[in-house]
Structure 1
Amino acid sequence: MSSQPNQSLIDGIRCLQYLVSSGRAIGCRELARLMGINTTRVNRLLMTMASIGLTMQDEQRRYLPGPGIHALAAQSIRGSALFSQALPLLERHAPKDIVVAMGVLWEDQVIYIWHSAPGTQMSQALAGFHMLPAWQSVIGMALLAAESDEDLMARFTPEQWQQLGPHIHQQREQGYVVWHHDDGEVSMAQPLGAHSAALAFAGMWQVDEARIRSRRDELQLLAGLLTRKS
């Protein structure tokens, strides 16, 4: 039996992920261009998934997520240890005066499981932010540090690596990332152990070093709660 990955399965999952993350109806050609694969192959994948309810088409024959996606989403939330443990704790303990986010890394994009800002409700925080390229996200920086510089430099442009590199090394040396943005914002992130996820604080403006240390301690305490075995 072959031990090679099944490329058709990989392409199908990627296709579905790109479709869901687009946030709108999307045609085969555009989706194929985003994925970098043949249009005919994308069309076949989408039609196959439509046959089991994972995709559907609108009046212009563009594709949308189908009802099966909602079933998968509900089952994923129910079956995820990260979801079941972290979400009640975030609702109870996350600071309410700054942005608090939890995300995972997928194909050099950060997918936000939780993203709360001052004044938001839990229903808004759950999956409450669009995808971001990993090099533009403090969560992405914290999680990419698990990979080698050689692998990362092959995937990112020199300009992207210039922003990524120092934060990658900070994560490896200190176990967290603190990012001082050019506009005065400070954000920070810490990986959540074996979950391949990270917790972040952001939306902190013009704060001094003492306040940064205090928030970092708060971040580490909350990360510890989220990863503590029940």
Structure 2
Amino acid sequence: MSSQPNQSLIDGIRCLQYLVSSGRAIGCRELARLMGINTTRVNRLLMTMASIGLTMQDEQRRYLPGPGIHALAAQAIRGSALFSQALPLLERHAPKDIVVAMGVLWEDQVIYIYHSEPGSQVTQALAGFHMLPAWQSVIGMSLLAAESDEALIPRFTPEQWQQLHPHLVQQRTQGHVVWHHDDGEVSMAQPLGARPAALAFAGMWQVNDDVVNTRLEALHQLAAQLTQKT
């Protein structure tokens, strides 16, 4: 039996992920361009998934997630120990006066599993918060640091790499990232042990070093709780 990955299966899963994450109806050509593969192949994949209800078409023959996505999403949430075990801890112990987020990496994008805003009574989680390019996210910076510079450099523009690289060094040497944004915001993140996920605090504005250090210690403590629980 061949040990080579099944490329058709890989392309199908990627196609579905790009479609769902787009947040809108999308045509085959645009989707093919995003994925970097042939339009005919994308069309065949989408039609195949439509046959089992994972995709559907609108009046302009653009593709949307189909009803089968809801079943798949529910099964994925139930099967995610990270989500189901971390959520109660975050709801109880996460600070309420700043942004708290937990996310994972997918194709150099951060997917938020948990995202809460100060004062909000509703947590934005799997279906409630958009993706963000990893180089624009403190979570992305924290998780990308696990890869070598040689693997990362070809995937980013020189401008993106200039912003990203100092934070990769910080993660590798200190075990966390603290990002002082140009507009005065401070955000911070650290990975959750061996899991491909990271916890972040953000939305801290014009704070001094004492506040940063206090928040960083709280981040470490909450991350330790999540690591032990999950």
Question: Normalising to structure 2: TM-score of the pair?
Answer: 0.96
| Residue aligning to 1:66 | 66
Distance 1:123 1:100, change over 3 A: closer
1:108 matched to 2:113:
no
Query: How far off is 1:195 after superposition?
Result: 1.8
**2:191 equivalent in structure 1:** 191
Two-structure CA RMSD over aligned residues (Å):
1.2
Structure 1: 5+ residue stretches without partners: none
Does 2:32 align with 1:49?
A: no
Matches of 2:150 and 2:30, distance apart in 1: 31
Deviation at 1:154, TM superposition (A): 1.9
* CA distances 1:70-124 after superposition (whole Å, capped 9, x unpaired): 1111111111110111011111111111111100000000011111101223453
Query: % of aligned pairs identical?
Result: 86
Which AA in structure 2 matches 1:199? L
Task: Give the equivalent residue in structure 2 for 1:148.
Answer: 148
Alpha-carbon contact 1:116-1:128 (below 8 Å) kept = no
Task: Give how far 1:47 is off.
Answer: 0.4
Match of 1:146, SS state, is coil
Q: Give the alignment of 1:122-161 within 5 angstroms.
A: 122-161=122-161
CA contact (8 A) 1:115 1:127 kept: no
Secondary structure at the residue paired with 2:187? strand
Q: Deviation digits for residues 42-66 of structure 1, max 9, x if unmatched? A: 0000000011111111122111111
Aligned-partner residue type, residue 23 of structure 2: G
Distance (Å, rounded) in 1 between the aligned partners of 2:64 and 2:123: 23
Deviation, structure 1 residue 125: 4.4
Task: Decide whether the 8 Å contact of 2:114 with 2:123 is kept in 1.
Answer: no
1:135-161 deviations in whole A, cap 9, x for unaligned? 010000000000001111121121111
| Structure-1-length-normalised TM-score | 0.96
1:1-230 matches, within 5 Å, as: 1-229=1-229
Q: Deviations over 1:155-213 (max 9, x none)?
A: 11211111111100100111100000011100000101122000000000000000000
Change (3 A) 1:33 1:108: same
CA distance in 2, matches of 1:13, 1:125: 21
C-alpha change, 1:127 and 1:210, in structure 2 (3 Å) is farther
- Contact 1:111/1:130 (<8 A) preserved: yes
Q: Distance in 2 between matches of 1:49 and 1:121?
A: 36
Residue 13 of structure 1 aligns to a residue whose secondary structure is: helix
1:126 is displaced (CA, Å) by 4.8
Structure 1 counterpart of 2:224, which letter?
Answer: G
Structure 2 residue identity aligned to 1:107: E
Change (3 A) 1:127 1:211: farther
Q: In the superposition, relative to structure 1, how do residues 54 and 64 fare at CA in structure 2: closer, same or farther (>3 Å)?
A: same
Query: What is the total number of aligned residue pairs between the two structures?
Result: 230
Seen in structure 2, the aligned counterparts of structure 1 residues 28 and 54 have a Cα distance that, compared at 3 Å, is same
Distance 1:42 1:120 in 2: 40
Q: Tell me, in whole angstroms, the C-alpha distance in 2 between the residues paired with 1:184 and 1:161.
A: 21
